[in-house]
């Protein structure tokens, strides 16, 4: 890409001081540092989330056919429960 040597960095600092001014330069540098820090934390959180989600989900491997999944337990029938409110009422003849 490109390299920044010490003379290049010093030149950029001198130009920044001339354009921005010596009074505002520390405030702007502090603000930029906070912005870059927040961006870095967000990127790290995203990487961590991707890593944990990929580790939690097993890879789609056709050779792993012996992996057992738990089936939900069957619900016991309870005839004494109240009738389903969505069912139409029964007619007594």
Confidence class for position 73, pLDDT limits 50, 70, 90 = low
Q: Flag whether 44 is in a domain.
A: yes
Residue 85 lies in a domain: no
Instruction: Quick: pLDDT tens for 43-71.
Output: 999 999 999 888 876 655 555 555 555 66
In a domain, residue 64? The reply is: no
Residue 49 lies in a domain: yes
Q: What share of the chain is helix, strand, coil (3-state, %, to 5)?
A: 50, 0, 50
Q: How many domains does the chain have?
A: 1
Range of the domain at 36: 22-56
26 inside domain? yes
Q: Is 43 domain-assigned?
A: yes
For range 14-33, the mean pLDDT: 89
Query: Can you tell me the distance from the alpha carbon of 78 to that of 84, in angstroms, rounded to the nearest whole number?
Result: 12
pLDDT (0 to 100) of residue 3: 83
């Amino acid at each position: 890409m490109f390299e920044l040597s010490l003379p290049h960095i010093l030149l950029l600092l001198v130009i920044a001081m001339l354009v921005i001014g010596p009074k505002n330069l520390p405030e702007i540098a502090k603000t930029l540092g906070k912005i870059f820090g927040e961006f870095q934390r967000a990127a790290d959180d995203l990487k961590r989330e991707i890593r944990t989600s990929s580790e939690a989900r097993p890879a789609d491997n056709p050779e792993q056919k012996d992996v057992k999944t738990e089936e939900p337990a069957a619900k016991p029938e309870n005839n004494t429960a109240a009738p389903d409110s969505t069912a139409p009422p029964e007619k007594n003849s």
